[in-house]
Amino acid sequence: MTDTFTSHFIAGAAHEDAAGTPLAVFDPATGETIADLHEATPAVIDAAIASARAGFALWRATPPAERARVLHRAAALIRARNEELSELETRDTGKPIQETRVADWASGADALEWFAGLAAGLSGEHIELGGDFAYTRREPLGICLGIGAWNYPSQIACWKAAPALACGNAMIFKPSEVTPLGALRLAEIFIEAGLPAGVFNVVQGRGAVGAALSARPEIAKISVTGSVPTGGKVYAAAAEGTKHVTLELGGKSPIVVFEDADLDSAIGGAMLGNFYSAGQICSNGTRVFVQNSVLPAFLERLRARTETIRIGDPKDAETQMGPLVSDAQGEKVMEYIARGREEGAELVTGGTRLRPEGCAAGFFVAPTVFAGVTDDMTIAREEIFGPVMCVLGFDTEAEAVARANATSFGLAAGVFTRDLARGHRMAAALEAGTLWINAYNLTPVEMPFGGVKASGLGRENGRAALEHYSQVKSVYVGLGPVDSPY
């Protein structure tokens, strides 16, 4: 791997076009420029499409067992280089090294391994028709466009590439313009692992580049991870060309804590579901409903634990929370905090911008808890994407379900209770693509992940993802003479 960055990766090699609009990449903790890239020009987009077409022709004809070997080798290379890749992820995103070491590239490698395991088992079915018969072929879609968000850039690239490549597709990946570096490393690793040139390409740019790629007729499928408004635009572009689509969008997920729960675990779950990655996680449980009988104890212990979180330089292994990814995101979070105060929420802890030593340029926000939040407050309705937890009291299970579901989002939900039956009743009643009982934000690759309602369409991970990166062709085989009335 090189130490410098060329903007794009096309036809198996780094690719530059300095005529593209400059795209500087900053370390969120220090403000230091870590790469100077360029957005894709139309010529770069044309080159990426041509590359992916050639790559697809080769890869679709590659035996699935060989595809599996390549994905396994890529996973092994990632694991061997986890430390340096995690350091890069930390500089690109501002997330603490203690997180990126275990959660980012590692989960990407998990996905590559798991879909490698499934690749060799891809098959269709035989359908007996009494003499004649039919069979189905599970075929790749073609060129898949992956569009990433900035919070888990390398994990997102791997989560999209792994099932796409296992099924025999080619991919053009457009990372978020805020965190574009990890995908370039992934492209290099794939080549080293033996992936044919052109099967995985990286094209950089802001939203307009994503839109230009989405409009190209050569693209068979678009998978975007991003906000609900972006998902709507991609969905419309996909409709225009009748393209397949997976939308992994935002959320305002509920965590419901009953009085019989293990309170320390529930507090731990709520903290993980609000403060990990400085709160920049789509599935965060940002509306924490706590049964009123245990609300005072919950808040007191939550406040004490929140105030021990170590905030500072994300490169320091002791740091538990780093800066927000950008000043713009930091300002947005502070505006929501101000709005919460104005609308009458009670600030339990946090609420301020911090300037840890040595990281003066970073936009750090203290982990923030609001209590006394009502369902109509802005902070309870809109996705903040920062370390801001809203705690709401409730009395009955039915009330909790109704209020938890009263949102247009439906990405995830959590329930903490020792009552087994209630846990499963809640799992059935809450409108979410993923539900955790006595856990939160665990997303093993074996488990499908995605949203309902405005939070998305389709699923990543699990066997379900194969359905979204392949299509079924039915083949009818006639064994006798054609019975025709003409």
Structure tokens at 423: 């846990």
Which residues, 6 or more positions from 260, have their beta carbon under 8 angstroms from its beta carbon? 417, 418, 419
CB neighbourhood size of 309 (10 A): 16
Binding mask 385-404 for ligand NAD (x = CB under 6 A): x-------------------
- Does the footprint of ligand NAD cover residue 177 (CB under 6 A)? yes
Q: How far is the CB of 76 from ligand NAD (least distance, A)?
A: 26
Between 27 and 248, CB nearer to ligand NAD = 248
Between 356 and 387, name the residue whose CB sits nearer to ligand NAD: 387
- In degrees, rounded to 5, the angle at the alpha carbon of residue 454 between the alpha carbons of residues 449 and 456 is 30
Q: Rounded to whole angstroms, how far apart are CA atoms 159 and 287?
A: 27
Per the CB < 8 A criterion, the answer to whether 260 and 365 are in contact is no
Give 364 or 409: the residue with its C-beta nearer to ligand NAD. 409
| 234 is a contact residue toward ligand NAD (CB under 6 A) | yes
Q: Does 356 bind ligand NAD (CB under 6 A)?
A: no
What residues have CB less than 8 Å from 366, skipping those under 6 apart?
311, 349, 350, 351, 352, 353, 354, 387
C-alpha to C-alpha distance for 101 and 109, rounded to whole angstroms: 12
Question: If binding means CB under 6 A, how many residues of this protein chain bind ligand NAD?
Answer: 30
CB of 469 to ligand NAD, least distance (A): 16
Binding to ligand NAD in span 449-478, by CB under 6 A: 451, 456
- Phi, psi dihedral angles at 201 (to 5 degrees): -125, 150
Q: Does 206 bind ligand NAD (CB under 6 A)?
A: yes
Residue 53 in contact with ligand NAD, rule: CB under 6 A: no
| Contact (Cβ atoms closer than 8 angstroms) between residue 17 and residue 45 | no
Known catalytic residues are 160, 248, 282, 460
- Of residues 148, 163, 168, 414, which one binds ligand NAD by CB under 6 A? 148
Among 250, 285, 330, 387, binds ligand NAD (CB under 6 A): 250
148/356 with CB nearer ligand NAD:
148
Interface pick for ligand NAD out of 41, 54, 197, 207 (rule CB under 6 A): 207
Strands (E), 68-142: 126-128, 133-140
Q: Does 249 bind ligand NAD (CB under 6 A)?
A: yes
Indicate whether 333 belongs to the interface with ligand NAD (CB under 6 A). no
* Assigned token pair, 407: 């949102």
Does 150 bind ligand NAD (CB under 6 A)? Our answer is: yes
* Cα angle 24-28-33, degrees, rounded to a multiple of 5: 35
Kindly state whether residue 149 participates in binding ligand NAD, applying the rule CB under 6 A: yes
- CB distance 459 to 449 below 8 Å: yes
Task: Give whichever of 86 and 225 is closer to ligand NAD, judged by the CB atom.
Answer: 225
- In the complex, the smallest distance separating the C-beta of residue 280 from ligand NAD, rounded to whole angstroms, is 7
Beta carbon of residue 232, minimum distance to ligand NAD (angstroms, whole number): 9
∠ CA(130), CA(132), CA(134), 5° rounding? Answer: 105
Distance CA 273, CA 258 (A): 17
Determine the distance from the C-alpha atom of residue 68 to the mean position of all C-alpha atoms in its chain, rounded to a whole number. 23
CA dist., res. 174 & res. 85, Å (int):
19
Stretch of 206-214, 258-266, 269-277, 417-425 contacting ligand NAD, by CB under 6 A = 206-214
User: Of 232 and 344, which has the nearer Cβ to ligand NAD?
Assistant: 232
Among 30, 82, 107, 151, binds ligand NAD (CB under 6 A): 151
**3-state helix, strand and coil shares in percent for the chain, rounded to the nearest 5:** 40, 20, 40
Q: Binding residues for ligand NAD, per CB under 6 A?
A: 147-151, 174, 176-177, 206-207, 210-211, 214, 224-227, 230, 233-234, 248-251, 282, 383, 385, 411, 451, 456
